[in-house]
Amino acid sequence: MAVPSLLHSVIFLSLYLTSTNYAAVVPKRTTLQLFHVNSPFHTKPDPLSWDELQSKDQARLNYLVSLVTRKSLPIASGRQQVVQSPTYVIRASVGTPPQSFLMALDTSNDAAWVPCGGCEGCPLTVFSSENSTSYKILDCQDIHCQQVPSPFCATGSCSFNVTYGGSIVSANLSQDTVNLGGDDIPGYTFGCIKKITGPSSIPSQGLLGLGRGPLSLVSQSQNLYQSTFSYCLPSYKALNFSGSLWLGPVGQLKKIKYTPLLKNPKRSSLYYVNLVAIKVGRKIVGIPPSALAFNATTGAGTIIDSGTVFTRLVQPVYEAVRDEFRRRMGPTANVTTLGGFDTCYNVPITIPSIVLVFDGLNVSLPQDNFLIRSSSGSISCLAMAASPNNVNSVLNVIASFQQQNNRYIFDIPNNRLGITRQACS
C-alpha cells in the first residue's frame, strides 16, 4: 500500500524569528514565505509504503538505543525526497557568502553536519568550504574537539566518526557562520562531512541538532535564543501548511501546562519526560510502573523525539495499550495486520480515544495522531508499535506522528516542556 501522496510532499512552513542578532535589545518576529517544495526543489520519488516507513523508524530506534547504551524558520516535512529520512527540515544557510541547505531538525542529536565538497558517498548538494571567507577547520587542541564522539587527529585537524541510523559519518570539525531566517550565528561549530559509509540513512543536505548537549543549536545560540524553542508539526494531510519553529522565549505561548524535563547526565542530548500513564477510552491502562520509570543509569524512560515517525513503546507498555484498544473495539471488530502494524481494522469503525498522561499535563491525541489509513481508506491501523524484539530497548519514544498539531515548547532554563493543542495545519 502506498503512503498517501501528501505524506511525501515537502512543504516549507512559516517560521517566526524572535531576534535578529546578538546585540539586539528589542527582539522582532520575522515571517518567511510558504513554499511547496514538490516542483521547485526536488523531483518526487516513488512513495514509501507504511512498511518501509516502519523499517526506517527501526533504524532510527537503533540509533536512539545506541545513545542510551553509550526567532521563526521554515520547517518542511522532509520525508524521503529531500533528507532521505522521515523527518522535518528547515532552510538554513552556511558560510560567507551564504550557501542554502534544507537541514533536518533532530531533537535527539547535538552536532550539526553538512556534506562538504569532495565528500565520498555524499549527495550532490554539498557545502563548498573553499568559497566561504569565514570557514575554518578546528585543530585537535580546540576545546570543541573533546565534545564530539570518537575524535581523532588527521593532519593536525580535529576529525570524528559517528554512527547515525545505518550510516557511518566521517567529518572534520569546523566553524563558520550559520544563518537562520536572517539571524547570523558566527563561529558555529559543525561537522564538515568528508565520507559516508553504509546505507544512505542520513539527511542528504545536513542536520541541525536541537539536543541539549554543548554543540547543539540550543547551546551554541544561547545568547541569542536563551535556550528556548518550540515547534508545531502540521498534519501530513494538510493542504495548506502553517507549522512553525519558534526560536527564543519572546512570543511563546503563556497559558499552557508544563511537564518537567528530566536530566540524564549520561544521555545529555535526550529530552526525557515523565510519562506516568496512558488512557484508552476512559480507562487508565494497566502498565507495570517499571516499564515507564525514568532511570538515569540504564537510560530507561520516555523521550520526545522529532526524528522518529511512529511512537515506539517498550513491550509491556505497547501490549497493554494495544490489548485495551482491541478490547474497546469490541469482539466483532475484524483485527488484521498491515506491514509493521498489528492492530488494523476495516472501516467504518468506532475508535476509542487515547490520552498520554504526563507529570503535570495530559495530551489527548486526535484520531489523526494515532491512526494511519490506507490510500483507499478501507483499512485503519493503530499507528504505534512495540520496540523491536531484537533491540534491547528501554526507551519509550513519543514520535512526530503523535506530535502533530500540538505546540511543544522546550524551556531549557526552567527544565520544562509545555504541550498544548494548536491547529498548525
Q: Is omega for the bond preceding 97 within 30 degrees of 0, making it cis? A: yes
Rg (CA), the chain: 21
Q: Contact, 247 vs 227, CB < 8 A?
A: no
Quickly tell me which residue has 466483532 as its cell: 332
Strands 16-17 and 244-247: parallel
In the annotation, is 359 catalytic?
Answer: no
Strands, sheet with 275-280, edge to edge from the N-terminal-most edge strand: 283-284, 275-280, 354-358, 361-365
Handedness of CA 261, 243, 210, 292 (dihedral sign): positive
Amino acid at 174: S
State the Cα–Cα distance between residues 421 and 392, nearest whole angstrom.
33
Distance of CA 199 to the CA centre of its chain: 20
Q: Give the β-pairing of 157-164 and 167-180.
A: antiparallel
Which DSSP helix (H) or strand (E) runs through 100? Answer: strand 99-106
Catalytic residue (choose from 106, 110, 183, 411): 106
- Among this protein's residues, is 183 annotated catalytic? no
Active-site pick, 176, 183, 305, 411: 305
What region, left, alpha or beta, does residue 182 occupy, with left being phi > 0 and alpha being psi -120 to 50 degrees?
Answer: left
Find, among 206, 235, 237, the residue nearest to 91 by Cα. 206
3-state SS assignment for residue 119: strand
* Residue 98: DSSP 8-state: T
What residues are paired with 335 via a beta bridge? 345
Write out the catalytic residue numbers: 106, 305
